[in-house]
Amino acid sequence: MTNKQALLVILLSAIAYYLFGYTTPRTDFNKVFTYYSLLFIGFGLLYKCSNLSIRWLIIGGIIFRFILLFAIPNLSDDFYRFLWDGRAIAKGINPYLILPQNNPELISNGIELYKGMGNMNGSHFTCYPPLNQFAFTIPAIISENGIFISTIMMRLTLIIADIITVYFGLKILKILNIDKRKILLYFINPFIIIELTGNLHYEGMMIAFLSASIYYLLKNKNHLSASLWACAVSIKLIPLLFIPLLYKKLGFKNLFIYGTIVLGINAILFIPFLSQNLVNNFMSSIELYFQNFEFNASIYYVVREIGFWIKGYNIIGLVGKTTPFIIIVITILISIIRKNNKTVTLFTSMLFLIISYYLLASVVHPWYIAIPLFLSIFTKYNFAVVWSFTIILSYSAYINTNYKENLWLVFLEYFIVIIFFIIEFNQAKTSAEIKHSKLPY
């Protein structure tokens, strides 16, 4: 592909991003799927066929993000809850202690925000950690009333976060001697641009902190790495899952210190929100997530059907209590068995662990795939890139206002990804066996 052809693809992609972000409601799944597919074709052409330098493609990725700067998120209504929490803090109200459905008038535009987030989101206490709450407060300070200005400020912070991820991601790729173009699998991926920049999900900020933390970990700056890892946890809790995997790289003593720093900083960040009901309210929302919600699951749906056959009712409560213990066992096994002292193996272990977690989960929202996609660029596996496309099939649930999933499309989503993973896993295993057979004895 010539440079002129590549620039034409960028132009056409820019038009598609505009049409997707400003004219496409999530209820129109045919339109959502069509534009998303066109954007992925453009992404594939730019990554595989373009002769443009990585610098120009990164600039293209920034342009795509700024095209969405003034769009109100069209695929998710979570941002209304983000604005609610941020404005509550700006008013001196502890967001961990109030329910939007009971107190819509306490903050500016509270009723409008509650209607936007919906009853399901507004009927439980917030589950977002402290640093995420502080991030929500920034747009509230700048714009107390307007939703439009607030979404722009949120989007700008998330664009900056993605640029930070690129900066540290390129440094990590250099350390690992991996082609630096692989960062484009994250940065110009339509999934990342739409879900993080477009729909204002803070996984992008979590990944920015995590990428910086991993870089300094590879540079043996453990205390700085742990501090940044703590920040990632205080945006989204999921990086806590990976800490045991550092055992062979750090050793028991250093891992203990590392984990203590992570937990200590998070405890400090909770101090401004301390109250008698903080822990109960926060944990009740986490428990609700595991034991009540269902969306775009895989293995869980199979277990649920078996439960219907045997018990005659939905066993989500039992599965929700059991799944964390299964994940703990998987985490321990991966931490002990695999050679995680090797950096590439560590990344692969992190990827396998998060995929195991999502395959067992009862809820897998599209934006959750951002972290396995990020981790995959430092490994030999590309199935997360495939998943970043097939995940759009989950939005078929929003065709109707009752949000009923098309389980055939959910099956197709996971079938394609799992088949692709099996192929890659077998290829990696064969490659390792060939390499081992050539070693002198």
What does the H/E/C string look like for the chain? CCHHHHHHHHHHHHHHHHHHHHHCCCCCHHHHHHHHHHHHHHHHHHHHCCCCCHHHHHHHHHHHHHHCCCCCCCCCCHHHHHHHHHHHHHCCCCCCCCCCCCCCCCCCCHHHHHHHHHHHHHCCCCCCCHHHHHHHHHHHHHCCCCHHHHHHHHHHHHHHHHHHHHHHHHHHHHHCCCCHHHHHHHHCCHHHHHHHHHCCCCHHHHHHHHHHHHHHHHCCCHHHHHHHHHHHHCCCCHHHHHHHHHHHHHHHHHHHHHHHHHHHHHHHHHHHHCCCCHHHHHHHHHHHHHHHCCECCCHHHHHHHHHHHHHCCCCHHHHHHHHHHHHHHHHHHHHHHCCCCCHHHHHHHHHHHHHHHHHHCCECCHHHHHHHHHHHCCCCCCHHHHHHHHHHHHHHHHHCCCCCCCHHHHHHHHHHHHHHHHHHHHHHHHHHHHHHHCCCC
Paired tokens of 5:
């052809």
Rounded to an integer, the average pLDDT of 192-208 is 97
- pLDDT value of position 336: 93
- pLDDT value of position 111: 87
pTM of the model: 0.94
- pLDDT value of position 395: 95
Flag the least confident range among 135-139, 189-193, 280-284, 396-400: 280-284
For residue 403, pLDDT over 50 is answered with: yes
CB atoms within 10 A of CB 9: 21
- pLDDT value of position 441: 39
Rounded to an integer, the average pLDDT of 37-48 is 95
338-371 tens-digit pLDDT: 999 999 999 999 999 999 999 999 999 999 999 9
- pLDDT value of position 89: 93
245-256 tens-digit pLDDT: 999 999 999 999
84-140 tens-digit pLDDT: 999 999 999 999 998 888 877 788 788 888 889 888 888 888 989 999 999 999 998
Rounded to an integer, the average pLDDT of 69-80 is 94
Residue labelled with tokens 């059991």? 322
**394 or 142: which leads in pLDDT:** 394
Whole-number Å distance between alpha carbons of 12 and 42: 8
Q: In the chain, what are the domain boundaries? A: 3-437
Q: Sorting pLDDT into bands at 50, 70 and 90, what band is 195?
A: very high
Smallest CA-to-CA distance from 286 within 323, 328, 330 is with 323
Residue labelled with tokens 């729909």? 199
Q: Sorting pLDDT into bands at 50, 70 and 90, what band is 432?
A: low
CB atoms within 10 A of CB 91: 14
- pLDDT value of position 439: 46
Q: Which of 107-111, 179-183, 293-297 is the most confident on average?
A: 179-183
Rounded to an integer, the average pLDDT of 189-212 is 97
For residue 282, pLDDT over 60 is answered with: yes
- pLDDT value of position 434: 57
- pLDDT value of position 261: 97
Smallest CA-to-CA distance from 178 within 40, 351, 375, 433 is with 375
- pLDDT value of position 309: 84
For residue 288, pLDDT over 80 is answered with: no
Q: Sorting pLDDT into bands at 50, 70 and 90, what band is 400?
A: confident
Q: What is the mean pLDDT of the chain?
A: 91
**234 or 141: which leads in pLDDT:** 234
Q: Sorting pLDDT into bands at 50, 70 and 90, what band is 428?
A: confident
**What is the total residue count of the chain?**
441
